Amino acid sequence: MAQMQESHEKSSLTSFQRLQNELAKVISTIPHGEKLPSEPLLAKMLGVSRATLREAMRTFEGQGIIRRRQGVGTFVVGPIQVIETGLEVLESIETLAEKIGLDVKMGDLVITQINANEYYAKNLNVEENTPLIKISRVINADNRPVAFLVDVLPESIFTNDDLAAGFTGSVLDRLIESEKIDLSVSKTIIKAEAASSSIARALQIQRGDVLLLFTAYLYSTEGKIIDYSYSYFLPGYFRFQVVRRVGELN
């Protein structure tokens, strides 16, 4: 009877699900930190094309189980600490990581002074050619990139001098510490998005891998947009949750 049930469960799986199950078995036999067999060899072992294998591997990379390095190979990752938070309160990655004792550090940092084009002018509700400061950086945890963050602000609010000392990657924390602006709320749009070539390079993943994209507008108590940001997160390293009321608001 048990054999019949097992046979039925196997037959109900799609070919892709069966591939993922087989790939999971292979991964479980590799010690943490060691490389998986090469893609051609692994595809031959599992009887699939390399393109199909890559699709299956994306699921495991998104969960933080494996890490693919272009031109180097695919490595099995040890147990990871997941940054978990509700979305009701806006907090920086650094603040959330500190709560669980996870060491996060800023990686590559690029700060540029630009004039608002049509896109940024619209999203910040400012005139075109308004002086802006654009801050792009990578956040590392467990010795690997886990997030790529970009903030764009009017230069009247945030300048290079504001970043001169002690900037560790959080624009939000720096704004909270500042006495220039009283912050109010953040409106955020969340969606899944395939990594572009530039984002994939920054996060050391494959182009097309799925990331969580947060596009956010941070407002002052006067209703002005202080910061327009877009942040890419590796799903396997973050778990976001929302507490919602049942029924209509009073």
Q: pLDDT-derived band of residue 249, with 50, 70 and 90 as boundaries?
A: low
Query: What are the structure tokens assigned to 18, written together?
Result: 């069966």
Q: What is the pLDDT of residue 188?
A: 95
Distance CA 56, CA 16 (A): 7
Provide the CATH topology of domain 83-241.
Chorismate lyase (3.40.1410)
Question: Which one-letter amino acid corresponds to residue 215?
Answer: T
Note the pTM of the prediction, 2 decimals. 0.75
Gap between the Cα atoms of 68 and 183, Å rounded: 39
Domain chopping of the chain, boundaries: 2-76, 83-241
Q: Is the pLDDT of residue 128 over 60?
A: yes
Radius of gyration for the alpha carbons in the chain, expressed in angstroms and rounded: 22
The pLDDT confidence band at residue 24, using thresholds 50, 70 and 90, is: confident
The topology under which CATH files domain 2-76 is Arc Repressor Mutant, subunit A (1.10.10)
* Mean pLDDT of the region 87-96: 88
Res. 4: pLDDT tops 70: no
Sequence-distant (6+) residues with CB within 8 A of 64 are: 77, 80, 82, 234, 236, 237
Look at 172 and 58; give whichever has higher pLDDT: 172
pLDDT in tens, 142-183: 778 899 999 999 998 888 888 877 888 999 999 988 877 899
Q: Chain-wide mean pLDDT for the chain?
A: 86
231: nearest Cα among 249, 243, 246, 217: 217
* Confidence check: pLDDT of 12 > 60: no
List the beta bridge partners of residue 216: 188, 229
Quick: pLDDT tens for 177-188: 887 789 999 999
pLDDT digits (tens, 9 = 90+) for 190-224: 998 888 999 988 988 777 778 899 999 999 999 99
